[in-house]
Amino acid sequence: MGAKNHCIVMPDCEKEDAINALIGACFGSTGQRCMAISVVVLVGDTQKWVPEIVEKAKTLKVGPGHANFDISPTQSALHLKHIERLIADGEKNATLLLDGRGVKVEGYPKGNWIGPTVIDNCKQGMACYEEEVFGPVMNIVRVDTLQEAIDFVNSNKWGNGSSIFTKNGHTARKY
């Protein structure tokens, strides 16, 4: 079926709560769940939060799934190559802020390891945005208004769900 779940982030939301939730929603379960948020649509002044999002993602630890780590291995070597291909597309066509490729975990040399990855300035038409990642990769899209965000999300062919961070009831109803 495919999924490209989006989350719109409005400037009036609680910044720390939103960033923490986005990190969990994108990177939890190694991003390998149907409802993972893989696209963060930053509206207006929330675009200034990107460095804090990246710093929070850098704190996540990669390790074996049977232990208490934030990110465990991907489901297969083939899927790891798919994720790495999409990261390479983001590096070429967008702005790669945090590169999770090449992670090594001591004692597990053959693991399908990928660390948290953040790709900024994603646009329609880029493979990193258009294709389902199913891994710990956050695509960031920047827009100026709620309507631009809604139009952007609605123009994507994928999606199981979408969400919004806001404190404004009118904004939530419009969304």
Q: Which residues are catalytic?
A: 34
Q: N- to C-terminal Cα distance for the chain? A: 24
Contact 101, 114 (CB under 8 A): yes
Contact 117, 100 (CB under 8 A): yes
Axis-axis angle for helices 50-58, 15-27 (nearest 10): 50
**Tokens 């693991």 map to which residue?**
111
Closest of 138, 101, 173, 143 to residue 6, by C-alpha: 138
Closest of 27, 54, 58 to residue 137, by C-alpha: 27
Which whole-number Å values give the CA distances from 92 to 7, 62, 122, 125, in the listed order? 24, 25, 11, 13
Return the beta strands (E) in 15-136 as ranges.
37-43, 95-98, 117-120
